[in-house]
């Protein structure tokens, strides 16, 4: 990976994690394999459009992937990507 590409990806990740809600979402996902949209909506008490924005930012940063099951969406953290850009994040931020 070229230095400029790495830098651009790192900046997207840092920007995504600079928001307190998204930072807490990542921390929640560190402890489990995946979480559903319902768990996030209960934890943050934000509107669906606001939560959708946060999901999108984390997905665009490459930190979050999703799968749909019926009416529900489940999210999974790309822990390897997080570790590549922020080594030790899982230990320091639990």
Quickly list DSSP for 39-78.
HHHHHH---HHHHHHHHHHHHHTTSEEEEEETTEEEEEE-
CATH number at residue 25: 1.10.10.10
Task: Write out pLDDT tens, residues 54-84.
Answer: 999 999 999 999 999 999 999 999 999 999 9
Q: What is the per-residue pLDDT for 28?
A: 94
Q: Tell whether the model's pLDDT for residue 1 goes beyond 70.
A: no
- Give the separation between CA 23 and CA 60, rounded to whole angstroms: 15
**Residue range(s) defining the domain that contains residue 51:** 3-92
Tally of domains within the chain: 1
Adjacent-strand bridge partners of 35: 75
Choice between 45 and 74, residue whose per-residue pLDDT is larger: 74
């Amino acid at each position: 990976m070229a230095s400029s590409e790495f830098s651009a990806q790192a900046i997207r990740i840092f920007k995504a994690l600079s928001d307190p809600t998204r930072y807490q979402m990542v921390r929640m996902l560190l402890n489990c394999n995946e979480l559903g949209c319902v768990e996030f909506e209960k934890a943050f008490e934000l509107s669906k459009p606001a939560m959708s924005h946060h999901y999108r930012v984390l997905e665009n940063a490459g930190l979050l992937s999703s799968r749909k099951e019926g009416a529900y969406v489940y999210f999974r953290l790309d822990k390897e990507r997080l570790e590549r850009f922020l080594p030790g994040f899982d230990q320091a931020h639990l």
